[in-house]
Amino acid sequence: MSAPARRMAEPAHSPGFPAPRPGRRQVDRPAHPPARPRTSAPPRRRRRARRAPHPVFLVLAAVVITALVAAAVSLSAMLVQASFRVAELETRVAELADRGALLTTEAAELSSPARIARWADGRGMVTPDEVVALTIPAESRG
């Protein structure tokens, strides 16, 4: 049986710095950060001068933006034209559907047996008393 593990003492660290993380290499640090020389005025920060964009970039950006705006406008115009064409075609379909229904009704009235009988009576035709069916013999192949 083995003996229980011993607990190791925690390393001491200076109060101005955080405790080192375990598993990292320890670096010797000074006890206090180095003192800055004192001056009467705070140090001035230098601002970086902002350069103007290159002219080629400006021209290219203008061309791309102009092309995108022109494409958006022409796409909008094509959509409006297409919507007008769709409205025209819907109106035409409705008219043709009404005309088709009217023609179907007219065809049904013209092909009714009662109307055909009236037309035949007006032309002097009579209904036959006896109907004879004739059969035609099939030709023999020889």
- In DSSP notation, 67-107 reads HHHHHHHHHHHHHHHHHHHHHHHHHHHHHHHHHHHHHHHHH
In whole angstroms, what is the distance from residue 52 CA to residue 55 CA? Answer: 9
- In this structure, are residues 32 and 16 in contact, taking their beta carbons and an 8 Å threshold? yes
In whole angstroms, what is the distance from residue 50 CA to residue 61 CA? Answer: 19
Can you give the pLDDT at residue 69? 97
Residue type, 4: P
Cα Rg for the chain, rounded, in angstroms? 52
- Dump pLDDT digits (tens) for 10-59: 555 556 666 666 665 656 666 666 666 666 766 677 777 788 889 999 99
Helix H, strand E, coil C: the string for 43-70 is CCCCCCCCCCCCHHHHHHHHHHHHHHHH
For the chain, domain boundaries: 55-122
- Dump pLDDT digits (tens) for 55-110: 999 999 999 999 999 999 999 999 999 999 999 999 999 999 999 999 999 999 99
